[in-house]
Amino acid sequence: MRLLAATSNRGKLAELRSLLADLPIEVLSLAEALPGAPAVVEDGETFLENALLKVRAGALRSSMVTLAEDSGLEVDALDGRPGVRSARFAREGATDAENNEALLSALASVPDDQRRARFRCVMVLLDPRSEQPPIVTEGRCEGWIGRQPRGAGGFGYDPLFVVEDYGRTMAELGEAEKNLVSHRGKAARAMRSSLEALIARRP
């Protein structure tokens, strides 16, 4: 089965392909399935709203089974920010390094015991040939924000996010470890039975 992953984020695409590698699914990127398609304006106020915008646009334009997700970092000391603005916390079009620097600056005076945070991922699956509503799953990963970047893996805020019970940043985990504990890994595993059922129904 061919599956459109409605994301232009290379890191997220690579993780989705890794998480679904043992299923008989060919995961196509937006660039592969819909070259030149305009970007979806992610103006929702929640992760779910943004994921629904992306999955519906992808399914409508491609007529393919589409998987979309919206995810981000929530920091308690910042009242849940950066949240849905995680990719543009520093500014529109910010690099990962700029966003990490902005986060460290915002937390500069916050003591270690008040730097609790979590990664959240809301994942949505939509089959345009079905009358069924989109299927939604969610994954969370708890931890806290470190004082400086550590690790060479991952992307986004991974070098700053220390995973609870591991004492290492997400960027210090290997691929298998990250897939096990990450918000995206948990959301994908929760979606697995729905994907398997969809594969069984399609020719």
State the binding site for substrate.
Answer: 7-12, 71, 155-158, 178, 183-184
Catalytic residue among 22, 43, 70, 113: 70
CA distance 42 to 201: 31
Q: Which residues are annotated as a binding site for Mg(2+)?
A: 70
In the chain, at which residue ranges do the beta strands (DSSP E only) sit? 2-5, 26-28, 65-75, 116-126, 135-145, 161-163
70 labelled catalytic: yes
CA distances from 110 to 6, 118, 135, 138 (A): 36, 16, 38, 29
Q: Is 187 exposed, middle or buried (0-12, 13-18, 19+ CB in 10 A)?
A: buried
Return all residues near 3 (Cβ < 8 A) that are at least 6 apart.
20, 25, 26, 27, 28, 64, 65, 66, 67, 195
CA distance 122 to 142: 15
DSSP per residue, 13-68? HHHHHHHTTTSS-EEE-HHHHSTTPPPP----SSHHHHHHHHHHHHHHHH-SEEEE
Please give the annotated binding residues, written as ranges.
7-12, 70-71, 155-158, 178, 183-184
Residues labelled as active-site residues: 70
